Amino acid sequence: MSNEDLSRRDALGGGAAALLAGVGAALAVSAAGREAEAQGAGDAAVLNTLLRAEYDAIRTYEAASGSLGMPDMADPDRALGPAAALIAGHYLAQHRDHATRLRDMIMSMQGTPVDQSTILFMAPAGFRLTVRNILRLACNKEKGAAIAYMNSLKTLSSQAAAELAAAIGGVETQHFIVIYLLLKGAAGPGMMAASMISEVSPRAIVGVTGDSMGLAGVPDFTYMPL
Amino acid sequence: MTDSNSLSRRSLLGGLAVTGAAAVGCGEDAPTGPSADVPTLNALLTAEYQAIKAYEAGLAVLRAPPMGDPQAAFSAPLVVIAGNWQNQHRDHARELAALIVTNRGTAVLESAVMFTAPQGFTPSVANVLKLACNAEKAAAVAYNGAVRALNSTNSRFLAGTIEGDETQHFIVLYTILKGIVAPDPAGLITNIGEVVPRSFVSQVGAGTGSAPGMDQRGLQTVADFTYT
């Protein structure tokens, strides 16, 4: 073999190696891109399930608002109605916030958020619109939502989606326990309930990176001497 | 094929086939060191041990409130609730330690963690409640941040299902301290175990156990209210 042949072979070998590396890299990028796309689609589907639950919560609180604000005269828990109406109104606003955040995240994943108009309020079988029944329904749904949000962490692949799910789930738990303790009779509305109703759940999220609206913005209590 | 170009192409193709075979045939080496989640999990575990010790210090005040403490009359049920919540933090610590070991890490020792009362804290029932509320809020925020930082879905799930317990602890104390919710003395005594009824939002492990410090159950086992 001549020196020229060797040089051509060297050139071909070097060029071929670069081609191989380039093809390999392109294949890797393509595979990674397909994997990311699949993960995004998977996360969007999980988030859409949570979004449906938020719309269901919104419909529930909307349906309840009239009955809580003006309970039937024969309702044995009529006196609890106004405080319950205030709490429900505040929780409704927070669920709307949750829905907005979930929609935005689904769209950022090139997903299509479920349409709110497709979610209707369906009262459970045998349900009567009394103050206590409404609170029971809300409590059951908040508990279910909290569990669903935390279980979603088992499958969500995106860190941002997982953070959002935890941030919202940690508020559903707050909604749950307040109503739960009212229904159990362990507690009732306090003196400040009417004037500080927004504090019954002071933030709509526990915390999201770059968002100042989480619990970190709630001031600490200060200690006072006796 | 005999010419040099043909040989080069065959070498390429052969090399590619060999490389491909090698890529398909050989799996990644099994990881041997701690997973990247271990430091974050250990930070959460440290926080749980601090919470356990903080509740121990708070219980000492609640069991024997200072003379003249205006909230002393409420200390008896608060002792029960604080003890229950301390056990829930023990459940959290147990699960975190187990996950750290699963991730080939070394769990921080409880004996290595100390609690120091914050500046300005003086013993009283109200201050114990405030301290607990501030700490539970901080824990909830920390857990949420950890969910984002953690890599494995198992780790994120555990962080989330514990976070939702800290948020319940927080809001119960917060709404009482703000005067939005008022304990009903008779109802509270009857339902004292229901003041945050589970250690986890969603069950962990097999979801078994109910003994204090050994509970894995989540809110799934809290019965729905029925309608009348």
Cα–Cα distance, B108 to B105 (Å, whole number): 9
CB-CB contact of B163 with B95 (8 Å): no
Which domains does chain A show, CATH number per domain? 43-68+75-208 (1.20.1260.10)
What predicted TM-score, i.e. pTM, was given to this entire model? 0.87
pLDDT in tens, chain A (226 residues): 454 544 455 544 556 666 666 666 666 667 777 777 777 889 999 999 999 999 999 999 999 888 898 999 999 999 989 889 999 999 999 999 999 999 999 999 999 999 999 999 999 988 998 999 999 999 999 999 999 999 999 999 999 999 999 999 999 999 999 999 999 999 998 999 889 999 999 999 999 999 989 999 999 999 999 9
Contact yes or no for B181 and A151 at CB 8 A: no
B162-207 pLDDT tens trace? 999 999 999 999 999 999 999 998 999 999 999 999 999 999 988 8
pLDDT, position A34: 73
pLDDT at residue number A20: 66
In chain B, the percentage of residues whose pLDDT exceeds 70 is: 88
Give A182-215 pLDDT, tens digit per residue: 999 999 989 998 899 999 999 999 999 999 899 9
The residue with greater pLDDT, A108 or B4, is A108
Q: Is A202 helix (H, G, I), strand (E, B) or coil?
A: coil
- What's chain A's Rg over C-alpha atoms? 27
Q: Check residue B214 and give its pLDDT.
A: 85
Q: Do B120 and A223 touch (CB under 8 A)?
A: yes
Asked if the model's pLDDT at residue B85 lies above 60, the reply is yes
Cβ–Cβ below 8 Å for A193 and B181: yes
**CB–CB of A176 and B183 under 8 A?**
no
- Does the pLDDT value for residue B23 go beyond 80? no
At A189, list the tokens: 């509305």
**B104 touches B34 (CB < 8 A):** yes
pLDDT digits (tens, 9 = 90+) for A24-54: 666 666 777 777 777 788 999 999 999 999 9
Given a cut of 50, whether residue B21 has pLDDT beyond it is no
User: Which residues in chain A have Cβ-Cβ distances shorter than 8 Å to B165?
Assistant: 173
Q: Name chain A contacts of B81, Cβ cutoff 8 Å.
A: none
Nearest to A186 among B8, B165, B187 (CB): B187
Contact present, A192 and B180 (Cβ < 8 Å): yes
Find chain B residues with C-beta within 8 A of A124's C-beta: 227
Chain A nearest-CA distance from B137, in A, is 7
Q: How far is CA A174 from CA A56, A81, B9, B165, in A?
A: 18, 20, 67, 9
CA distance A102 to A164: 8
Residues of chain B with C-beta less than 8 angstroms from the C-beta of A218: 137, 174
CB contact under 8 A, B131 and A149: no
> In this structure, which amino acid lies at residue A196?
M
Distance from CA of A115 to the nearest CA of B (A): 28
